[in-house]
Amino acid sequence: MKAIPRTVLTGASALLFLTQPAWAVNASPTTNPIFVDGERVDLQSYTIDGYTYYKIRDLAEVLDFEVGYDDASQSIRLWNTPQNAAPAPDDPESSVTGTGSEEHSAPTSPDAPDAPIKRDVVDGKLVVLLDAGHGGSDGGTHNISETLFERDFNMAVAQKAKALLEAQGAQVLMLRGPEETERILESERIARIDRFVREYPVDLLLSIHHNATETHKATGSEILVQIAYEHGGAGQELARCIEAEYRALGRPIRPTKYQHSAENPERDRLYLLREAYERGLLAVMSEYCFLDVDSELQLVLTDEGQAREAEALAAAVMQYYTNHPY
Ligand SMILES: [Zn+2]
C-alpha cells in the first residue's frame, strides 16, 4: 500500500492555493480526457501556470479516499479508504504529510470488514523485496554439529519463493544475491533497503530466517512483525496468512512476535523491521523451523522440503495481496 497518490497531494496543494487571493492566477478549463484505471471519468479541471488542478473532493470520489475538514485546527484531512480506518479528527497522526507511513498510523482493525479487492493474480505491479537472512561469514543459526548454516537455507528458500512469486506476476528483488560470498554488514543491508525503496515502489520486505535456541529444544514456526501492527493492520494480517500456510503444512505455530527496542520501546528491536518501518515499508520476518532440533532440521534438508516452505510463503503473500491494495 502506497501513500495517497502524488496527484492527489497536488490536488490538496491546489485547494490550499486557490483559497489564497486569486488576483494573480490565470486559470483556464482543461479539456484533456481523464481515465482512472482505464475508465473515463468526468472531472472539472483547470490549467494554472502549466499545471492541471482538480477539486480534491472530485479526486476523493474517483480514487477512493476521504476528505475532511477539521474546524478546530482548520486543517484539511485526507485518509485512505477502506483499508485504513477513518481517523479521529483530532488525531494529529492521521493528517497526510506525504511520508507514506500512514498505513502504520492507521492500521486496519482486525475486525474491520475486508476490502472489496479480490484478484485472481497480481497484475505485475506488486513489488516484493526478499531478504535471505545473514550471508558470508555470518552464517546465522546452525545445526548442533555446526555443519549446516541458516544463511544457506535462507537463500535456497528465498530463491524458490522468488521464482514462485514471479510466476504469479510479482516483481521480486533480492536484498542479498545468491552469488554473494561476503558478509553483509547491517549498515550495508540498510543502505540496500534504502536504495531499493527509492528506486522501486516496494510493497513488502519479506525476510527469511531459520531458528535455533540455547536449549536446543524449541519447535514450531514463528513470524516477527513490526510493532506498529501489534494491535492489528497489515503486518498482523500478513502474518496470519503465513501462519495459515505453515499450519496447513502441519507446523506448530508459535505466538506472533512484536519486539520492542529496550532503549526505545516505541521502535522495533530488529533493525531490519525498524529501518523498513522508518521508510514506510511493511516488513515481516519468517522463522520456519529450528535448525538445532533434528525433527525440525529434517524439514529443510531436502529440496522438496525447502520448496514446501517457499510455496507456503509465496501463497501467503499472494493470498494477502489478493485482498489488499499494493
Ligand atoms: Zn536468522
> Which residues share a beta bridge with 224?
257, 285
Q: Please tell me whether residues 216 and 134 are part of one structural domain.
A: yes
Distance from C-alpha of 167 to C-alpha of 161, rounded to nearest angstrom: 10
How many Å apart are CA 92 and CA 288, to the nearest integer? 39
Distance in Å, CA 305 to ligand 1 centroid: 18
CA of 91 to the centre of ligand 1 (A): 37
Q: Which residues have CB under 8 Å from 120's CB, separation 6+?
A: 322
Give the length of the chain.
Answer: 326
**Domain-embedded: residue 115:** no
Q: In terms of pLDDT, which residue wins out, 113 or 256?
A: 256
In-domain check, residue 286: yes
Residue 40: what pLDDT?
A: 75
Q: Which residues pair with 83 in a beta bridge?
A: none
- Distance CA(324)–CA(322), nearest Å, equals 6
Q: State how far the Cα of 96 lies from the Cα of 81, in Å rounded to an integer.
A: 13
Instruction: Compute, in angstroms, the gap from residue 125 CA to the centroid of ligand 1.
Output: 29
Averaged pLDDT, 106-129: 60
Any domain includes 45: yes
Q: Quick one: which of 247, 311, 317 has its CA closest to 282? A: 317
Residue 17 parent element (H or E) = helix 6-18
Q: What is the pLDDT of residue 214?
A: 96
What single letter denotes the amino acid at residue 146? E
One domain, residues 99 and 212: no
pTM for this predicted structure:
0.66
Cα–Cα distance, 72 to 90 (Å, whole number): 8
Are 80 and 150 members of one domain? Answer: no
Between CA 108 and CA 31 the distance in angstroms is 38
Query: pLDDT by residue (tens digit) across 213-271?
Result: 999 999 999 999 999 999 999 999 999 999 999 999 999 999 999 999 999 999 999 99
Partners of 222 in the β-ladder: 287
**How many angstroms separate the CA atoms of 9 and 4, rounded?**
7
Query: Is 177 part of any domain?
Result: yes
Q: How far is the CA of 247 from the centre of ligand 1 (A)?
A: 21
Q: Is 90 exceeded by the pLDDT of residue 35?
A: no
Q: Which of 90-104, 105-119, 288-302 is the most confident on average?
A: 288-302
Cell representation of residue 184? 553483509
More confident residue, 157 or 121: 157
Q: Are residues 165 and 298 in the same domain?
A: yes
Which of 72, 105, 138 corresponds to the end of one domain?
105
Question: Residues 324, 122: contact at Cβ < 8 Å?
Answer: no
Residue 324 has pLDDT above 80, yes or no: yes
Provide the domain limits for residue 26. 6-105
| 39-87 tens-digit pLDDT | 777 777 877 766 777 777 778 777 777 777 666 556 676 766 544 333 3
User: What's the CA-to-centroid distance between 139 and ligand 1, angstroms?
Assistant: 8
Question: Are both 166 and 266 inside the same structural domain?
Answer: yes
Q: How remote is the CA of residue 210 from the centroid of ligand 1, in Å?
A: 6
- Nearest to 168, CA basis, from 227, 229, 214, 123: 123
Q: Ligand 1 (ion): which residues have CB within 5 A?
A: 133, 140, 209
| Whole-number Å distance between alpha carbons of 310 and 304 | 10
Distance between CA 270 and CA 69 in Å, rounded? 38
For position 326, what pLDDT does the model report?
A: 86
Distance 233 CA to ligand 1 centre (A): 25
Query: Scanning the structure block, which residue is given the C-alpha cell 490550499?
Result: 16
Whether residue 144 sits in one domain with residue 44: no
Over residues 199-224, the mean pLDDT reads 97
What CATH number corresponds to the domain at position 245? 3.40.630.40
Give the number of domains in the chain. Answer: 2
